[in-house]
Amino acid sequence: MPGDGGVTPTPDGGTDGGTDGGTDGPVTPDPDSGVEPGTAVTGTAKVKRLLADGTSTETAQDLSGYTIQALVEDFAQPSGFRVLGGTGRADGTFTIADVPQGTYYLKLIEPGATTPRYYVTDARILDLGTVEYGRATAPVTRPTPVTLALTGMHGWRSGDDITAHSFSAGAEDYLSADRNATQLPADGDTSAGAVFDWRTGWSYGGSGGPMTIDAAHDDLWLTHLHRQELHNAGGNYELTTIADAIKRDTTISDGHAVTIAGQFLPVAPTATEQVQVDVGSYQAGLGSVTGVTYEELIVSRITNPAASAGIGFGPSLYDVTVDLDRGAASGNHTYSIAYGSPFPAAWPEVNVASYRRVRHIKAPGATSSTPISYGALSFRAAADAPRFALDLAPVTAVRMNGDPSTDGGAVAFDGTAPLTVSWTPATGADFYTVSAQRLTVEAGRTRRRTVASFVTAAASVSIPASALTIGELYIFAITATKDASGFRTGVLRRTGLPFSTATTFTGIYRLSATCGDRVTSSTEECDDAGASATCDADCTSAICGDGVVNPAAGEACDPVIDSLDCDADCTPVVCGDGYSNFAVEECDDGNHDDDGNGCSAQCTRIGRCGDGTVQTWFEGCDDGNTRPGDGCDADCQVEAPQP
């Protein structure tokens, strides 16, 4: 994304708010230095808010507390940059004087933040405006319990959900988002009395939240989402549609409990669409699934009063989830979708496709890994045919200081000169976002912290050394974006429709001036000048499960945990090897025979609990039912004798 407005869903960029973004001190050009003074770079920042009634407001964004600088590449400087300070004003304008003609890095740090964001541009007049949804209200920061007292609901099913949306306040929440929610509906229930915390939701504007809601000004829609597990020629898939809905006038204040009562109204299917999904285009465009633990494709139809203006948030009228790691076929498939909408017919609709892969990384010394999510995302006006196919692939051939490897390792870095990240451009991309993320260990857990991000139309960026820490481990996310809002002309933080992104991650890199010199320093666990049987190329000990593939240590792969193509013991997935990889196998009894134990020659389960046949690989008993209390429990395990 170029910035903070429009559809701009953030790729998996780690946790913002890093403390090691560094501060570049401004430098005033010396008139005797031979550096020719430039002209001023000016800009404005206005926040346009789209309201639920179709109107909008526009206010200046106060820039007086921002750090605003221009970094000009200057190889005569040890850091590779000359830094020019700018001035932000409360009226939403800023000026940076004497910026030489050509490309420069606009550096912004918001008040109270430490993570810088850089925009690489040659424009002299910049538009930092954003588009947000909902009026300006205060976010919820304290526990705010919401109790539902809703009746008239279609019978609840496992996997169902209840959503709450306020378009005028720009806020939404899902019952499933609160892991501590209580009194959840049970299968078959036609009323909902759940209690959840409104604080677990989020705001459309990205300012935290969700936002408070005032019944005198704001709408509040609640929907009951109904999930079905279906099957077609493409394999198993899930369909989620709106079964019931209700609109209420309710005030939700920060820290105050509230009850939302009323009777759901049924939402009858009024439209049927033949949704075409080219699954194979996504899989081919993202390349191999090495180390991937989960893979899915979700295509959706969403709506909100300003969807046509590029606001890519709001309730789904339908979701089709193709769970690709469970055997769904690739290729082009058609899904027949019947759905209804409780919202005004005048509201525009948007087609959304989200293809997602998940893999795990682990920092040295950590006892647990952390997932990273990447893939492709697109938003397109629903007036277009409901055909979903990959229209933007991620960048390829990522290089670190010219090193063509994306598998990680060591990168020469002296803490002074910038680090250059480059790549082969993605066809059709308008700009790219590079997120530098530092890996740390906190209480035994692997953490990612974004230390700086860069937005550029070029196929490389130079990361100032002040944004990085020598000797530490980093991973880099690179997101290609297709958007016609005008980044190349100086519109830096707005997006619109159509909009597409594709994200890829590098391996883990140690930024070091000494890794590879065969001398183990204080930040290194070992140093064999490359991968060896005991040491990885990033100067950490070679351990299966560290996420670094080291063939010299006998590893064919290293996914950290079981993945779609690799077992957690760093060997490829092979049905019949006796290792049950539950990412792709239901069982593995070490042979290729249907020998009556319930595990087939294809490593899938035969039979089920309660069918009266004991499958010894899975069951200790099977009395033909799944009732507990009769000596054989609901999971077909022998119950302990009752005293």
DSSP string over 177-212: G-TT-BSPPPTT-S-B--EEEGGGSEETTSSSS-B-
Give the pLDDT confidence score for residue 10 in this predicted structure.
Answer: 41
Give the pLDDT confidence score for residue 418 in this predicted structure.
Answer: 95
Give the pLDDT confidence score for residue 372 in this predicted structure.
Answer: 95
Give the pLDDT confidence score for residue 49 in this predicted structure.
Answer: 87
Give the pLDDT confidence score for residue 355 in this predicted structure.
Answer: 95
Tell me the three state secondary structure of residue 78.
Answer: coil
Non-local (6+) Cβ contacts of 19 within 8 A are 114, 449
| Phi-psi region at 301: left, alpha or beta (left = phi > 0; alpha = psi -120 to 50) | beta
Mean pLDDT for 259-267 is: 97
Name the token pair of 448.
């990612």
> Does 336 score more than 80 pLDDT?
yes
Rounded Cα gap, residues 1 and 454, in angstroms: 10
Mean pLDDT for 497-505 is: 93
> Does 634 score more than 70 pLDDT?
yes
> Does 2 score more than 70 pLDDT?
no
Mean pLDDT for 25-53 is: 72
pLDDT in tens, 364-373: 889 999 999 9
Mean pLDDT for 495-511 is: 91
Give the pLDDT confidence score for residue 205 in this predicted structure.
Answer: 58
Give the pLDDT confidence score for residue 594 in this predicted structure.
Answer: 84
Give the pLDDT confidence score for residue 455 in this predicted structure.
Answer: 98
Which tops the pLDDT comparison, 81 or 138? 81
Q: Could you tell me if residue 621 is inside a domain?
A: yes
Q: How many CB atoms lie within 10 A of CB 357?
A: 26
Give the pLDDT confidence score for residue 437 in this predicted structure.
Answer: 97
Could you tell me the pLDDT band of residue 234, with boundaries at 50, 70 and 90? low
Name the token pair of 515.
């890794």
Give the pLDDT confidence score for residue 13 in this predicted structure.
Answer: 42
Q: Could you tell me if residue 622 is inside a domain?
A: yes
Contact 13, 435 (CB under 8 A): yes
Least confident of 227-236, 252-261, 389-398, 613-622: 227-236
Could you tell me the pLDDT band of residue 505, with boundaries at 50, 70 and 90? very high
Give the pLDDT confidence score for residue 21 in this predicted structure.
Answer: 37
pLDDT in tens, 83-92: 999 999 999 9
Give the pLDDT confidence score for residue 447 in this predicted structure.
Answer: 96
Strands (E), 8-129: 39-44, 46-50, 56-60, 67-73, 81-88, 93-99, 104-109, 117-121, 125-127
Q: Determine whether 627 is exposed, middle or buried from the number of CB atoms within 10 Å of its CB (0-12, 13-18, 19+).
A: exposed
Give the pLDDT confidence score for residue 631 in this predicted structure.
Answer: 92
419-424: strand order across its sheet: 396-400, 419-424, 460-463
Could you tell me the pLDDT band of residue 463, with boundaries at 50, 70 and 90? very high
pLDDT in tens, 154-170: 999 989 999 999 988 88
Least confident of 237-251, 299-313, 543-557: 299-313
Radius of gyration of the chain (CA): 27
Closest CA to 38 of 84, 93, 94, 107: 84
My answer on whether omega of the bond before 498 falls inside 30° of 0, hence cis, is yes
Contact 255, 146 (CB under 8 A): no
> Does 595 score more than 90 pLDDT?
no
Q: Could you tell me if residue 453 is inside a domain?
A: no
Q: Could you tell me if residue 641 is inside a domain?
A: yes
Mean pLDDT for 108-113 is: 93
> Does 354 score more than 70 pLDDT?
yes
Q: Could you tell me if residue 233 is inside a domain?
A: no
DSSP character for 540?
A: S
Mean pLDDT for 315-332 is: 79
Give the pLDDT confidence score for residue 18 in this predicted structure.
Answer: 36
Contact 243, 225 (CB under 8 A): yes
Number of domains in the chain: 1
Mean pLDDT for 401-427 is: 90
Rounded Cα gap, residues 372 and 471, in angstroms: 22
145-151: strand order across its sheet: 195-197, 145-151, 258-263
Q: Could you tell me if residue 403 is inside a domain?
A: no
Mean pLDDT of the chain: 88
Closest CA to 408 of 504, 470, 473: 473
Task: Residue 624: give the domain boundaries.
Answer: 607-643
Give the pLDDT confidence score for residue 93 in this predicted structure.
Answer: 98
Residue with tokens 């105050």: 256
pLDDT in tens, 566-581: 999 999 999 999 999 9
Rounded Cα gap, residues 118 and 455, in angstroms: 6
Could you tell me the pLDDT band of residue 439, with boundaries at 50, 70 and 90? very high
Tell me the three state secondary structure of residue 326.
Answer: helix
> Does 27 score more than 50 pLDDT?
no
Task: List 414's β-bridge partners, or say none.
Answer: none
Q: Could you tell me if residue 172 is inside a domain?
A: no
Percent of the chain residues past pLDDT 90, beyond the cut = 65
Tell me the three state secondary structure of residue 88.
Answer: strand
> Does 533 score more than 60 pLDDT?
yes
> Does 377 score more than 50 pLDDT?
yes
Contact 510, 499 (CB under 8 A): no
Rounded Cα gap, residues 404 and 422, in angstroms: 9
H/E stretch holding 336 reads strand 332-339
Q: How many CB atoms lie within 10 A of CB 630?
A: 10
Query: In 272-340, which ranges are continuous DSSP H helix?
Result: 279-286
Least confident of 286-290, 319-323, 480-484, 584-588: 286-290
> Does 531 score more than 50 pLDDT?
yes
271-278: strand order across its sheet: 332-339, 271-278, 387-388
Mean pLDDT for 163-186 is: 89
> Does 81 score more than 90 pLDDT?
yes
Q: Could you tell me if residue 642 is inside a domain?
A: yes
> Does 238 score more than 70 pLDDT?
yes
